[in-house]
Amino acid sequence: MEYSYPFSIDWSTDDIVDVVRFFEGIEMAYEKGINREDMFKRYKKFKEVVPSISEEKTYFREFEEESGYASFPVIKEMKAKSDGDFIRLDKK
């Protein structure tokens, strides 16, 4: 698939890498699955870059429009699971 990841030109290179890794985790949750701890670490880094809920929703929406992958269901599943669990969702 060819699409771009949402980011801000105001972010540092490290911030952009953290956000891209987070969205790669979202892709993995739909394509092959991802370990809950790994997704949690990626989300935590993402939240350090994007602490605002409204900004988070904006980036989630932009990513879904580009890729077709919804981020919120992955986050919801991540929060509901226990350590050691695997997150795997079906793309609708």
Beta bridge mates, 54: none
Question: Is the pLDDT assigned to residue 4 strictly greater than 70?
Answer: yes
How far is 56 from 50, CA to CA, in rounded Å?
Answer: 6
Contact 83, 36 (CB under 8 A): yes
Task: Give the chain's domains with CATH numbers.
Answer: 21-87 (1.10.220.80)
pLDDT at 50: 97
The pTM is what? 0.92
Q: Give the chain's largest Cα–Cα span.
A: 36
How does pLDDT run across 33-86, given as a tens digit for each residue? 999 999 999 999 999 999 999 999 999 999 999 999 999 999 999 999 887 899
How far is 31 from 49, CA to CA, in rounded Å?
Answer: 25
Contact 48, 17 (CB under 8 A): no
